[in-house]
Amino acid sequence: MNLLPAVLLGGPPHSGKSVLAYSLTHALREQGIQHYVLRAAPDGEGDWANEADQELVRIIRAKGEFSQDFVRHVCDSLARRHMPLLVDVGGRPTPEQEVVFDYCTHAILLYKDETELEFWQAIAERHNLIVIAILRSDLDAAEAITDSGPVLRGTIGGLARGALAAGPMVQALVQRLAGMFAYSHDELLNINLLDAPVEDVRIVEELASIIGVPSEGERYRWQPDHLKPVLELLPAGQPTAVYGRGPTWLYAAIAAHTSPALFWQFDVRLGWVQSLALRFGDLSPNAPLQIETHARPGHLHIEFRLLRAYLDYEEIHDLRVPEVAQTQGVVLSGKLPNWLWTSLTLAYRNAAWVGIYYPPLNGAVVVARSGANAPAVGSMV
């Protein structure tokens, strides 16, 4: 049995669960509370959906569908969790989907009317979840705490996508979660380092501190121009493992810098994962990863799309990607797991340059280069 807490955020559609998850994780990171948000619904959302321009989010957000395989994938991730979790679930769970709740330990319930509250309280009771908060969600209401007892009760407002809720109710929730997630950074780090595949493990937060990445509390604000000083700290071509929270392009750049030596990264769902360069070839129409290519002035843009809301790591061996001439630059985009970004970067390592499109910056960050006249690593395209 996994003893790390997994707190479910439950409530009807459009009640603000994802925005609340973002607001809570933002505040917890500022306090240095180790945790992770597991998106247990295939709605195409993530932190990026709150941090990027909302018109851009509307355009590129892609909703998936619940399936038996997706539910199994979420259950496996919960069972194998390596950190305390906030679990953002869908608003209309079917009985088949409710099995996910058996892997959670606690619940925060949102509702708009009493019928919705009764529905979610019944779910929590069926799955033996300890309810820590019951909150009426009203977009325009002022936050109010009506009961600060064992079950926090009251009204929460301002849960609009693109916003950051930070009123008294959010503060009370953060305080409660901080007590539940009371594992120090070093405790979780030491637990997870026991299984590290190599001795040379680089901690993202330590790298950020060394090169002076600006921070808000414990949340570092990485920018593309930080890549050059980071890579100067790391020996090129040496087996490396990376642990910690950072943007996709940071991991991709370190993986390329490590190549041709082996590279591992820590995944909160899977543990230590080795990045493997994908093979070139034609894709089957039924392959889980689909691709569109777009010729741009000076580079090729390859857009990746998952047919399902998730991809198993084991499927990486069967994936194929289009080959690119070594004289050509390439920009990669899509909503993909971190371990797939690093694997794609390794596949295109010999292109003139490789860029990773990053929605919060509305541009591509160059993470690798081999051409003499290619844009520098850390520049924006």
Print the SS3 string covering 329-363.
Answer: EEEEECCCCHHHHHHHHHHCCCCCEEEEEEHHHCE
Spatial separation of the C-alpha atoms in residues 35 and 22, rounded to whole Å:
12
Name 308's Cβ contacts closer than 8 Å, sequence gap at least 6.
42, 64, 67, 69, 70, 288
Calculate the CA 32 to chain-centre distance.
17
Q: How many CA atoms lie within 13 A of 205 on its CB side?
A: 14
The predicted structure's pLDDT at residue 61: 38
Q: How big is the chain, counted in residues?
A: 381
Model pLDDT, residue 29: 87
Domain 6-180 has CATH 3.40.50.300: yes
Q: Where are the domains of the chain?
A: 6-180, 186-369
Matching residue, tokens 């993202």:
204
8 Å CB contact between 64 and 44 = yes
For residues 54-62, average pLDDT: 39
Nearest-angstrom CA–CA distance, 75 and 102: 9
Task: State the pLDDT at residue 33.
Answer: 86
Does the pLDDT of residue 220 top 70, yes or no? yes
Q: How far is residue 213's CA from residue 204's CA, in Å, rounded to a whole number? A: 11
The predicted-structure confidence for 253-308, as pLDDT tens digits, reads as follows 999 999 999 999 999 888 999 999 899 998 788 888 889 999 998 899 999 998 87
Give the count of alpha carbons within 13 A of 149, CB side only. 3
Q: How far is CA 123 from CA 40, 107, 108, 135, 176, in A?
A: 16, 10, 12, 16, 22
> Which tens digits make up the pLDDT trace of 114-150?
999 999 999 999 999 999 999 999 888 888 899 999 9
Instruction: For helices 248-258 and 338-347, give the axis angle rounded to 10 degrees.
Output: 40
Give the whole-angstrom CA distance, residue 157 versus residue 165.
8
Name the token pair of 212.
């002076």
326-to-153, 299, 353, 369, 376 alpha-carbon distances in Å:
60, 11, 9, 10, 16
Mean pLDDT of the chain: 87
pLDDT of residue 348 exceeding 90: yes
**Which residue carries 């089957």 as its tokens?**
284
First to last CA, the chain: 47
- Tell me what the mean pLDDT of segment 89-104 comes to: 88
- Each residue of 68-81: pLDDT tens digit? 878 888 898 898 88
pLDDT in tens, 1-54: 677 899 999 999 989 998 999 999 999 988 888 899 998 876 544 444 444 443
